[in-house]
Amino acid sequence: MGKNEDVLGVSEMFLGEGPRPAATTEESALGRYRSAMENGEYLSVSFARVDAEGNLSMVDGDVTVCMAADQINGRPYDLRFKAQKLEGSYVVKVVRVEPESKKAWVSHQQARMEKRPGIMRELDRRLNLKRKPPIKVKGRVVRIQSKREAGEEKDVGVWLDLCGVGILGYVHISNWRPTYTSELRSEVRYGDVLEVLVQEKRGYSSSGIMSANTQQIAITYKG
């Protein structure tokens, strides 16, 4: 992460809340994607179709832009949730251009893995300061966690993808708001973008887990 690059600024790019880079202008769409690959540019892509194997695609002029299922988050996903993968847009890097078939292959995983180490270093740096300033970031909801008590499913917390780069954050239901919250599913759903404050890092590995809450916008994270 550059000296003047802010954690929140990166989350704006990856979570679709701010301006995103676009490919340089050339005569053909294929040329734009080739140029983006050679220059290492970040692009924003919204997909229109998902096939039986979970691969995403869209048509841009005379080019079909494709993203393999394991290039969204680095591993294949549950195909029951294919439709969810078409919601919103992805910041991607172009990884391969096929002139013969007029296809451009892109990867969200590569884009976020390039940004993630710098964001984690910055979060760790700020958490280790003696006088911690508020560490405000954005995260996308990836799961509402529940557990069974007395024969009933009860919500206990929300898992977030912090800054859109795969750093896991967790908000316990007790940290959702100052007043009592009986359930979370009526207040938040998969894909929602929340603003939180990072409170601490839990865990013994370099990735850890970031803890947060929304009543003061605070969270725990795991890389």
Residue 27: partners with Cβ closer than 8 Å, 6 or more residues away: none
* Overall average pLDDT of the 111-119 stretch: 89
pLDDT in tens, 120-147: 888 888 888 888 777 888 888 888 888 8
CA distances from 23 to 4, 27, 40, 94, 212 (A): 23, 12, 10, 10, 36
pLDDT in tens, 29-45: 889 999 999 999 999 89
Q: What is the pLDDT of residue 167?
A: 87
Whether 115 has a pLDDT exceeding 90, the answer reads: no
pLDDT band at 19 (very low <50, low <70, confident <90, very high): very low
Q: What is the pLDDT of residue 21?
A: 45
Whether 158 has a pLDDT exceeding 70, the answer reads: yes
Kindly list the structural domains of the chain, giving each domain's residue range(s) and its CATH number in brackets, ordered by start: 7-113 (2.40.50.140), 134-222 (2.40.50)
Q: What is the pLDDT of residue 124?
A: 86
pLDDT band at 181 (very low <50, low <70, confident <90, very high): low
